[in-house]
Amino acid sequence: MRVLVLGGDGYCGWPTALHLSAAGHELAIADNLVRRRIDEELGTSSLTPIRSADQRIDAWNERAGVPIDLFVGDVLDYDFLSGIMGEFLPSAVVHFAEQRSAPYSMLDREHAVYTQHNNVIGTLNVLYAIQEHAPSAHLVKLGTMGEYGTPNIDIEEGFIEVEHKGRRDRLPFPKQPGSFYHLTKVHDSHNIAFACKVWGLRATDLNQGVVYGMVTPETLIDERLHNRFDYDGVFGTALNRFCVQAAAGHPITVYGRGGQTRGFLDIRDTVRCVELAIMNPPAEGEYRVFNQFTEQFSVGELAEMVVTAAARLGVQGRVEHLPNPRVEAEEHYYNAVHTRLLDLGLEPHLLSQSLIDSLLNVAIQYRDRIDQRVILPRGDWRGSRQHGRERLTTTFS
Amino acid sequence: MRVLVLGGDGYCGWPTALHLSAAGHELAIADNLVRRRIDEELGTSSLTPIRSADQRIDAWNERAGVPIDLFVGDVLDYDFLSGIMGEFLPSAVVHFAEQRSAPYSMLDREHAVYTQHNNVIGTLNVLYAIQEHAPSAHLVKLGTMGEYGTPNIDIEEGFIEVEHKGRRDRLPFPKQPGSFYHLTKVHDSHNIAFACKVWGLRATDLNQGVVYGMVTPETLIDERLHNRFDYDGVFGTALNRFCVQAAAGHPITVYGRGGQTRGFLDIRDTVRCVELAIMNPPAEGEYRVFNQFTEQFSVGELAEMVVTAAARLGVQGRVEHLPNPRVEAEEHYYNAVHTRLLDLGLEPHLLSQSLIDSLLNVAIQYRDRIDQRVILPRGDWRGSRQHGRERLTTTFS
């Protein structure tokens, strides 16, 4: 297949592109490289040294059977996007090209507007470019389990059968997202479902859980292929961040009581789920949703698992409960269905002590690259009157 | 009360501002006057001659007890919006400042992007400006009944009690909007609900039906206060457009079979509903939804009513079924709850023959201003490859 990966330079996009390339697909990556610029804005960087986009592509192409094409540009630039869509004529478009941090979207108005504009208008452009140049291409869009929030009923995969006043219908599952970032994914989902209906596009919305881990078989082939690993308070996700905190001798920071329960998955399953979606496309006009995670944990459980694993490596970890900067339930019911990817053949990499050990060892290996100043959350989602740079430097320390 | 009306120069905003001013509130209007520029873009204009924004404000202020302030500027310009919010310090903000035509949003990519950017980012700015300057102000936001689509169950007012696998929750009513414009209202609803949750804002989302009519008591006081009346295929709504078609000797154009059923209301009820919402604000942190319409009709029923009324005035009307440019069910279940505004005291102006007669008489009075070339729908929502001006001039004629 010809697969265009939008956002193929990022934490999930890069290993996905390599995995699909290794599996024999013809790959092109489009990326505006903004994630690297955001590192500079926030004064942080990947725990692991990563090469420039050109260098990592060159490294892969030295070894790959079929080289990957890299197009540097922005999905907000329709001429750019339309140009590569018309030139490459993909059979599948994997869309990671969004601002993906909830805390970043909550820093202030400018960051909320940036996130919603980038994600919503970017995805609109993707839909129009597919319709214009490759209307039978399959759009594989990264959504998030965070679209659903934490309802007091079981979460289904995108749709729910509702019986109401003696009548029945299958309706979109009600959404209760918890940040301006998560809201963009809900907006996208509605826009994509509509495009499938009116234009007959085909799309898979992967409502992904929190991703942990760093390596896939392909990123290990050459150190120039290494994936990024975020541990800061803005882009670092729970388990990854906890491991770095333990390795750095920093308290493991749980926001609030820690009963917040979410779906999680190993990054090796992320790349496999995208492949499974691509290999099993929906029908023309079909908009489908897969809940993409393998296990549920509470944040507090993960923190304790890291403490235990660290102790085995001779590192003493300590959990600290911070005032929760987010507005979210800290004790709640949570049970989300996630069978569709399993039905397609996903064999999950369940969270193991050995995986946590390996993350801790990576964190220990790169301990001298850890900047403790960027670990804590920035800002309070309840809102302050601060803006821009001033707000960006606010922490709980 | 101090009421800021965003979009107060438009079809609904202008009579609402006058009504609230007449009721004794201190009013300010902010408007970028873009609706007048869109008339130029589309080569159309209001059936009724309307004065410039300055002239109509001056006319009102000659007669009103308390003058209305007019601020010309754009809600996308945060400095402008923040400035008037901080200066005027409203107790209520009525937000009409959105691109409100579904067909306009479906003309091509540029118009879809314009609509989503204008509406979603504009509303984000409104939320931030309220949070920054007037956090206890009540946001009254114009949504649309079109957010719900046409589910096979009764439509509730914003939320629905769901029982699922033995558990219960009250959840946002699932949304199935039918155009890129309608999608923006769904996006706004999610953004506003979130802002109420995290910042403690208070908001009323008025999910309005299709508005018909033109005059309110205040717009009749002076011809310089007259309201606009759209009859073209892009901005004209069903009943208003049908009356003009009959008066012009043009077939009354029903899209598809005409079984499309929607909620409708008289513009005199629009202004009253906004007033009722303002006088009965929600609690801090509360996001509530009122379904704002008074009666349900199918498009075919309305067309027949216009034929009957026209005949009584000696005008022979004829219904013509056009290929439906939209993608929508043409026969479907539709039953939407709309009790909350009635509970607050709304006394509906139900659709009467005399109202249709008066609209027909207006259309006959201004018959020489009707441009038949702009009556038919432009473009097919299923998508063509045409763009921009070329697409704008496409019709079914």
B181 classed as catalytic = yes
Mean pLDDT of B19-45: 97
C-beta atoms surrounding A243 within 10 Å: 33
Banded model confidence at residue B384, pLDDT cuts 50, 70, 90:
low
* Residues of chain A scoring pLDDT < 70: 384-397
Structural domain total, chain A: 1
- B187 vs A: CB within 8 A: yes
Kindly provide the b/e burial profile for residues B212-227, where b requires at least 16 CB atoms within 10 angstroms of the residue's own CB: bbbbbebbebeebbbb
The CA-atom distances, in angstroms, between A292 and each of A6, A204, A208, A342, B353 are 19, 11, 4, 9, 56
Q: Which of A271, A262, A239 is nearest to A346 (CA)?
A: A271
**Preferred mutation among A147, A159, A175 to probe B, highest tally of B CBs within 10 A:** A175
In the predicted model, is pLDDT for residue B392 greater than 50? no
The fraction of chain B above a pLDDT of 90, given in percent, is: 94
- Quick check: is B129 in a domain? yes
For the stretch B281-314, pLDDT in tens is: 999 999 999 999 999 999 999 999 999 999 999 9
Residue B272 has φ and ψ, to the nearest 5°, of -70, -40
* H-run or E-run covering A180: helix A180-199
Cβ-based contacts of B131 with chain A (< 8 Å): 383
Distance CA A361, CA A364 (A): 5
Full domain range(s) for residue A159: 2-392
Banded model confidence at residue B64, pLDDT cuts 50, 70, 90:
confident
B185 classed as catalytic = yes
Mean pLDDT of B235-243: 95
Helix (H, G, I), strand (E, B) or coil at A282: coil
Distance CA B182, CA B328 (A): 13
Distance CA B225, CA B245 (A): 25
Q: Which of A131, A86, A287, A128 is nearest to A197 (CA)?
A: A287
Cβ-based contacts of B124 with chain A (< 8 Å): 109, 112-113, 116, 180
A-proximal residues of B, 110-149, CB under 8 Å = 112-113, 116-117, 120-121, 124-125, 128, 131-132
In degrees, rounded to 5, the angle at the alpha carbon of residue B228 between the alpha carbons of residues B226 and B229 is 120
Instruction: Specify the amino acid at residue A280.
Output: N
- A320 vs B: CB within 8 A: no
The CA-atom distances, in angstroms, between B311 and each of A159, B61, B306 are 48, 41, 8
In the predicted model, is pLDDT for residue B383 greater than 90? no
Residue A131 has φ and ψ, to the nearest 5°, of -60, -40
- Quick check: is B120 in a domain? yes
- Quick check: is B397 in a domain? no
For the stretch B90-125, pLDDT in tens is: 999 999 999 999 999 999 999 999 999 999 999 999
- A79 vs B: CB within 8 A: no
In the predicted model, is pLDDT for residue B386 greater than 80? no
Beta-bridged to residue A321, according to DSSP, are A254
In the sheet that B261-266 helps form, which strands lie side by side, from edge to edge?
A: B210-212, B261-266, B295-298
- Quick check: is B122 in a domain? yes
The CA-atom distances, in angstroms, between B101 and each of A124, B111, B237 are 18, 10, 9
Distance CA B55, CA B59 (A): 6
* Nearest residue of chain B to residue A199 (CA atoms): B382
pLDDT of residue A384: 56
Task: Please judge whether A172 and B173 are an interchain contact, meaning their C-beta atoms are less than 8 angstroms apart.
Answer: no
Q: Please name the member of A117, A191, A333 whose beta carbon is closest to the beta carbon of B183.
A: A191
**Preferred mutation among B155, B160, B171 to probe A, highest tally of A CBs within 10 A:** B171
pLDDT of residue A391: 38
* Nearest residue of chain B to residue A184 (CA atoms): B187
Distance CA A188, CA A98 (A): 11
Q: Which of B290, B266, B274 is nearest to B156 (CA)?
A: B290
- Quick check: is B57 in a domain? yes
Distance CA B153, CA B1 (A): 39
- A384 vs B: CB within 8 A: no
Contact by Cβ (8 Å): B359, B246: no
Residue A385 has φ and ψ, to the nearest 5°, of -90, 5
- Quick check: is B376 in a domain? yes
Average pLDDT, chain B: 95
- Quick check: is A397 in a domain? no
Task: Please judge whether B124 and A113 are an interchain contact, meaning their C-beta atoms are less than 8 angstroms apart.
Answer: yes
**Preferred mutation among B126, B173, B194 to probe A, highest tally of A CBs within 10 A:** B194
Question: Which residue bears the tokens 């692991």?
Answer: A48
Q: What is the ipTM of this complex?
A: 0.96
Q: What is the CATH number of the domain that holds A266?
A: 3.40.50.720
Distance CA B112, CA A121 (A): 9
For the stretch A91-124, pLDDT in tens is: 999 999 999 999 999 999 999 999 999 999 999 9
Banded model confidence at residue B65, pLDDT cuts 50, 70, 90:
confident
Q: Which of A50, A45, A44 is nearest to A15 (CA)?
A: A50
Distance CA A78, CA A41 (A): 26
